[in-house]
Structure 1
Amino acid sequence: MAAGELQCIKYLLFVFNFIFWLAGTGVLAVGLWLRFDERTKGLFIGEDSPSVFLTGVFILIVAGAVMMVVGFLGCCGAIRESACMLGLFFMFLLIIFAAEVAAGIWGLSNQEKIVTDLQQFYEQTFKTYKDTKQEALRESLRAIQYGLECCGTTGLFFDGAAETCPKKEGLEILVTKNCPDAIKEIFTSRLHVIGGVGIGIGVVMIFGMIFSMLLCCAIRRTQDII
């Protein structure tokens, strides 16, 4: 491999890993914010805490930390031309890629169960909020309902938690889409978008692994010559 090509792969790999590291930092920051923010940390206390939400937050924290470590290894390995670091980077990226494929297959085969669990989580959160009026639950309902443009379990604006629903005008004030149906719709109508994003991330990871192996082999050949 020519020196110019080696340098090109080196800096491409560095840029790729720097973006990967930034993405990991963002994911970790979101996870930590959801865990320790005053409006949501109450969800982690008590026996009736929503397991789906808690699991999702902890997955975000772990995934963000792993992405930061992998991005750091890739950046340092590329800049320092360290075959050891690049080998570790390749191994971690391969594990993440395999986990992504496994998660995608599991998600497709358990789509109905995931939708049902999310609907049950929302309905339980909605019921508990109507009974207790907890601030943490109100913020969770706001996030879900504003994101899905829905309101309550029946779609009626006066269903008992109107203050958490998106602001509507005209006849939409009285009747709008209910959130269990909105959750099902988002998974069925946008499954191809989720799949496309997953495939895109997988392709980027494959290129990252190819570049890391090319650079690692070139570095070892250079060391053998010396």
Structure 2
Amino acid sequence: RPPQLGGCGALGVGLWLALSQGRFSALSLSLPSLGVAGLVMAAGAVVMAVGFLGCLGAATEQRCLLLTFFVVLLTIVLLELSGGLAFYACRGQFDRYAQEDLKSGLRRYGAPGEPALTQAWDTVQTEFRCCGVQNYTDWFEVRNGTGVPESCCLEHGAACSGLDAAWWKEPCYEKVKSWVGENVWAMGIFAACIAVIQVLGLISSMLMYCQVLKVEKYYH
């Protein structure tokens, strides 16, 4: 059951991300809407399915099911570890890619058929009190130097597009990155709990496999 608990936890986190951060999901053009939340929920569903396989193997004492559960769960753990190490090693490249992706989104701000992206940028700039990706001048590049959106104004709703003294000056990417850094401890605790649960699942499944094997040898 430990992996099923981990799967439930991942599903819960994914649902929370979808509900609380969904308004920011349109910022990225290369990722589908709610891509991160969907990925977490999908991972949770897979882990729950694997946990069910382990429970079935334990209930029926089938060595084949227990061994399959162990191998699949071990593969998931190794993939998670590899993904985490790869992300850490390539975090600089990820930063550059993310910034370029967000800048591409600026070009579609206010365009017909892009209400979600426009609203997402307005929400980010208003809530984080920032302007542009790396700098407020990012907007000059996509608006032909005509100023910034009203969501960059110190007073929301004010007509300040031509008054640089009335704009937020801090870059949104760094502001959001700092916010994530301040809350990373919560994600770290969650990841550690999931890792412990998965390791317990590996240990318990292998112990039960060995026990079933020993019993079969005893009776044969």
Deviation at 1:188, TM superposition (A): 6.3
Residue 78 of structure 2 corresponds to which residue in structure 1?
98
1:179–1:30 CA distance, 2 compared to 1 (3 A) = same
Is the contact made by 1:130 and 1:160 (CA closer than 8 Å) also made in structure 2?
no
SS at match of 2:109: helix
- Work out which of the residue numbers 52, 63, 81 in structure 1 matches 2:43: 63
Is 1:120 the counterpart of 2:100? The answer is: yes
Deviation at 1:207, TM superposition (A): 2.2
Moved more, 212-221 or 181-190: 181-190
Deviation at 1:67, TM superposition (A): 1.9
Is the contact made by 1:52 and 1:121 (CA closer than 8 Å) also made in structure 2?
no
Higher CA-based Rg: 2
Is 1:159 the counterpart of 2:148? The answer is: yes
Deviation at 1:117, TM superposition (A): 1.6
Residue 172 of structure 2 corresponds to which residue in structure 1?
179
Is the contact made by 1:30 and 1:60 (CA closer than 8 Å) also made in structure 2?
no
1:29–1:110 CA distance, 2 compared to 1 (3 A) = same
Is 1:205 the counterpart of 2:188? The answer is: no
Please give the per-residue CA displacement for 1:29-86, whole angstroms capped at 9, x wherever unaligned: 689x79xx9x899x6xxxxx82244664664465244223212212222333332222
Is the contact made by 2:63 and 2:209 (CA closer than 8 Å) also made in structure 1?
yes
Residue 81 of structure 1 corresponds to which residue in structure 2?
61
**What are the equivalent positions in structure 2 for 1:188-203 lying under 5 Å apart?**
197-203=190-196
Residue 6 of structure 1 corresponds to which residue in structure 2?
none
- Work out which of the residue numbers 208, 214, 218 in structure 2 matches 1:221: 214
1:197–1:117 CA distance, 2 compared to 1 (3 A) = farther
Please give the per-residue CA displacement for 1:160-193, whole angstroms capped at 9, x wherever unaligned: 1529x9x8xxxxx953643122244356667777
Residue 130 of structure 1 corresponds to which residue in structure 2?
110
Is the contact made by 2:136 and 2:148 (CA closer than 8 Å) also made in structure 1?
yes
1:118–1:194 CA distance, 2 compared to 1 (3 A) = farther
Counterpart-to-counterpart distance in 2, 1:143 and 1:225: 67
Please give the per-residue CA displacement for 1:173-223, whole angstroms capped at 9, x wherever unaligned: 953643122244356667777566545533332222111101111122223
SS at match of 2:110: helix
Q: CA RMSD in A?
A: 4.1
Instruction: Specify the code of the residue in structure 2 equivalent to 1:221.
Output: K
Residue 17 of structure 1 corresponds to which residue in structure 2?
3
State, as a whole percentage, how many aligned pairs show the same letter: 24
Structure 1 stretches lacking a partner, 5+ long: 1-13, 44-48, 168-172
Is the contact made by 1:86 and 1:213 (CA closer than 8 Å) also made in structure 2?
yes
| TM-score (ref. length: structure 1) | 0.63
Deviation at 1:119, TM superposition (A): 1.9
Counterpart-to-counterpart distance in 1, 2:122 and 2:215: 58
| TM-score (ref. length: structure 2) | 0.64
Deviation at 1:136, TM superposition (A): 2.5
Counterpart-to-counterpart distance in 1, 2:206 and 2:24: 43
Give the structure with the higher percent helix.
1
1:27–1:143 CA distance, 2 compared to 1 (3 A) = farther
